[in-house]
A and B are shown apart, each in its own frame.
Chain A
Amino acid sequence: MELEPMDEFEQELRQAFERWPAPPGLKRKLMERRHKPTQRSWFAWPGFAASLVSVSLCVAAVLTFYGSHERQQEKERREGEDARQQVLTALRITSHALDHMNQQLAAHNRANHESSQE
């Protein structure tokens, strides 16, 4: 797809938005996380293991509920912000259309006035 060449401001933007170098420790931390062994603990006592599983399930249920509640709130916040932006877009377009119409009508009135004076 052909694009118009960038103007001066856009060139300024390109320069301003050059990539930042990654922080020096990023790769090291990443590789550490990547190679971190998963820890597994095995317990000899079935009773203890069973309790641990029950507790884990309860915690998981609570976290899932909390997680989904948070996700729901986040979703609503996102939707609210999206709706707000859409309202602003609609009003902006309306304002522009009304401005243009006012200009048109004003120009016509002027033309009418001038021709009636001839």
Chain B
Amino acid sequence: MKKRIIALVFCSTSLAVLGLAQTAELPASAPVEKELAAHASNVDEVTLGKNMLGLASAFMKGKDKDDAETRKMIEGLDGIYVRDYEFAKQGEFSAEQVEQLRKYYETTEWSPIVRDHDSKTGESADIMIKMVNGKSDGLFILDVEPKEISIVLILGPVNMEQLGQLKNLALLGALNGAKAAPSGNGKH
């Protein structure tokens, strides 16, 4: 089955208004997220409003280069909402659940720029951005792998170039690199 891709398209479609409000407020969790969490072997949840981001930013002042880069990245943001669900084996979540997630976050304010679905493997990649007065005011990423679902929602002026530099942050690079380290037979 061929992949369907709709890439780099800015379109205003009339979609049901769900989830995201007009003001930059973090959404409540989609109902389907509870189901995903119940079956996940590992869950990471981050919900940071403007105040907490300010606190984190203040805490990074005067620290090392990586902290300075991170602080630049989050300065001015209104909120970060991230959910990462890892599953012990494939087949722990359905395409319908992924579609529910997608529909929950897709509102009229958000324009899809990447939509890549592989119906054979079940993997998919969705990126949407929120534009206000010609400037980006939010980024949404839904990444679906056979054993992992990641939801990233960033509210506020997102610097896409800086996001592309994420790999250069030693702290993150080390953690990502550690995934490739030999793990032997055991698993957590």
Contact = CB atoms under 8 A, between A and B. Distances in A.
A99 B167 contact: yes
A37 interface: no
Interface string B93-127: 00000000000000000000010101000010101
B46 A95 contact: no
B46 A86 contact: yes
B185 interface: yes
Interface stretch (A25-33, A60-68, A77-85): A77-85
A90 B48 contact: yes
Interface residues of B, number: 47
Q: Which of B3, B70, B82 has the most CB of A within 10 A?
A: B82
A91 B150 contact: no
Contacts of B114: 101, 105
Could you tell me the dominant secondary structure of chain B's interface residues? Answer: mixed
B59 A90 contact: no
A87 B81 CA distance: 10
A7 B152 contact: no
Interface of B: 3, 5, 7, 44, 46, 48, 52-53, 55-56, 58-60, 67, 70, 73-74, 80, 82, 84, 114, 116, 118, 123, 125, 127, 141, 143, 145, 150, 152, 154, 163-164, 166-167, 169, 171-172, 175-176, 183-188
Interface of A: 4-10, 76-77, 79-81, 83-84, 86-101, 104-105, 108
